[in-house]
């Protein structure tokens, strides 16, 4: 009682404030305020009556009649829920409280009691998260063995865990490993589970997703950033060595390990699908169970707080890709997974970035996509687009025996016969392509009718070649009539013996 008497003396005799009295007496300001309030309700004045004993003072300060005059405290869980709503502050809630009860707590006392109530909650709930803003992700530290039914061996499966900031709704799913493809697929499955995407995704610093952890400028894996861009979320790694930055993820991992993995510890699983079915059953129970110190469940808070503010899922899910580099060879092709893909010929000797998926191959030069091909798994084969070839190569590829003969037929049948004769007389038709094309081009120099006549003359005298036809046209022999073959007769002359001499 001596402490209460000292509090009353400092308050009424020296006019000290509550905080000054608390510092002087070495007790909490809330205790000082409570004692002064009780003394006021007991109608005690300073100085105290000399006949008042300590037992009488204790009875008047802590008696039943005094407790009945104490006003009920605000509904702190309701205050906590209201603070999660956008732009709602503690001062606004206190003003509403004052409107309902003008004789209620003052603002400082209101804040003091609320902060004291919040300290009784779990550490993971002390932070105030904007609804639908952040998704916290991490790997669970505990793995689950998957047994091979054939040989009895086991392989550890890793559990990907995610939790939303405001509602704390948990997602969990097992994967064969913790490599980048599993890390990315875990995010995709989580977004699909929540049926939406938050603006921020907060991971720890796993080496599969974060190449270099840094407090100020972490280096995030290119594929991880590409996934975030596809879903419209920002990848925001936590500070290294600061687990409180991802307290939601730590709590979610703890729930997953204690309420899911621990419950499944005596079960044997022979596939990931079997394990995930068991995980999802337990997960539904966790999200549906009531909070210990707050009203509602994770599912209810999710529907009220997070879900209305999540971004919609994109039309197509993210397609996992791998990146590498490749140099363009002299034949304007790059080698990707032992297959050759073409690019524009003017990129010869350049180093390109290759984005490889299960179905496509994309080639980039200085962040610009320069080619795209369907992926082929034929080793050592070529995939080439005609527009990537030089013009000369494109024209050369148009040279085929049938096509060249068709070109010659447009000039005339004699020209077509000459072209066909040249190609059939060579060991390989391509050896006569240049000669045939040269003959066809003579029609542009000397006119097609003259070329047709020259070809007829060449066929008549069996001198079918480019040089012979060019000479016929140059000497205008195509304009002279063909010589008619006459039967050979022995001329009459004295020096000619005749046929009878050899009889």
So what's the pLDDT on residue 149? 84
Pairing of strands 382-383, 339-342: parallel
Cis-peptide, bond into residue 47, ω within 30° of zero: yes
Tell me which residue has tokens 């307290």: 247
What pLDDT is recorded for position 190?
93
Maximum alpha-carbon separation in the chain? 187
pLDDT of residue 389: 78
Q: Give the whole-angstrom CA distance, residue 217 versus residue 200.
A: 16
pLDDT at 68: 43
The ranges of the chain with pLDDT < 50 are: 64-69, 123-126
β pairing state of 333-336 and 339-342 = antiparallel
Sign of CA dihedral 154, 253, 204, 181: positive
Q: Which pLDDT score is estimated for 3?
A: 75
Using DSSP, state whether 106 is helix, strand or coil: coil
Between CA 261 and CA 142 the distance in angstroms is 8
Q: Which two tokens stand for residue 185?
A: 């697929």
pLDDT at residue number 480: 85
pLDDT at 66: 42
- pLDDT the model gives residue 293: 73
- Cα–Cα distance for residue pair 400/430, rounded to 1 Å: 8
Q: Would you state the structure tokens that stand for residue 349, as one six-digit string?
A: 């000797």
CA separation (Å) from 342 to 107, 354, 392, 399?
73, 12, 16, 21
β-partners of residue 135 are: 164, 201
């Amino acid at each position: 009682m001596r402490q209460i008497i000292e509090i009353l003396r400092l308050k009424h005799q020296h006019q000290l404030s509550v905080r000054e009295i608390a510092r002087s007496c070495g007790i909490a300001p809330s205790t000082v305020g409570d004692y002064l309030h009780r003394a006021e309700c007991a109608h005690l004045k300073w100085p105290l009556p000399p006949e008042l004993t300590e037992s009488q003072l204790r009875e008047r300060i802590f008696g039943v009649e005094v407790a009945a005059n104490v006003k009920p405290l605000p509904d702190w869980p309701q205050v906590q829920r209201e603070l999660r709503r956008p732009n709602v502050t503690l001062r606004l809630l206190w003003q509403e409280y004052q409107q309902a009860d003008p004789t209620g707590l003052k603002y400082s006392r209101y804040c003091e009691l609320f902060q004291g109530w919040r300290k009784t909650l779990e550490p993971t709930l002390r932070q105030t998260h904007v609804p639908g803003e952040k998704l916290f992700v991490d790997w669970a530290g505990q793995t689950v063995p998957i047994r091979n039914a054939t040989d009895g061996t086991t392989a550890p499966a890793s559990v990907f865990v995610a939790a939303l900031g405001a509602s704390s709704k948990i997602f969990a799913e097992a994967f064969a490993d913790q490599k980048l493809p599993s890390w990315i697929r875990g995010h995709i499955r989580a977004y699909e589970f929540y049926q939406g995407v938050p603006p921020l995704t907060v991971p720890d610093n796993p080496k599969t997703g974060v190449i270099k952890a840094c407090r100020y400028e972490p280096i995030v894996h290119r594929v991880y950033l590409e996934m975030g861009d596809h879903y419209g979320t920002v990848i925001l790694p936590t500070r290294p060595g600061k687990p409180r930055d991802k307290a939601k993820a730590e709590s979610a991992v703890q729930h997953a390990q204690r309420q899911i993995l621990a419950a499944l510890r005596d079960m044997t699983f022979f596939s990931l699908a079997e394990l995930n079915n068991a995980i999802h059953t337990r997960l539904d129970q966790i999200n549906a169970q009531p909070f210990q110190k707050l009203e509602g469940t994770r599912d209810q808070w999710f529907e009220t707080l997070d879900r209305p503010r999540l971004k919609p899922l994109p039309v197509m899910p993210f397609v996992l890709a791998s990146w590498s580099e490749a140099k363009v060879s002299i034949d304007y092709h790059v080698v990707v997974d032992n297959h050759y893909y073409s690019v524009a010929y003017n990129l010869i000797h350049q180093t390109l970035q290759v984005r490889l998926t299960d179905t496509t191959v994309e080639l980039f030069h200085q962040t610009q996509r320069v080619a795209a091909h369907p992926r082929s798994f034929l080793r050592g084969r070529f995939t080439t687009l005609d527009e990537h070839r030089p013009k000369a190569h494109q024209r050369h590829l148009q040279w085929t025996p049938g096509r060249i003969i068709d070109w010659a037929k447009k000039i005339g049948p004699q020209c077509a016969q000459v072209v066909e004769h040249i190609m059939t007389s060579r060991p390989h038709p391509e050896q006569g392509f240049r000669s045939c094309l040269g003959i066809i081009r003579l029609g542009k120099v000397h006119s097609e009718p003259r070329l047709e006549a020259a070809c007829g003359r060449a066929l008549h005298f069996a001198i079918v070649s480019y040089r012979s036809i060019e000479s016929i046209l140059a000497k205008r022999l195509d304009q002279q009539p063909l010589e008619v073959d006459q039967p050979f007769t022995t001329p009459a002359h004295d020096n000619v013996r005749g046929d009878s001499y050899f009889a």
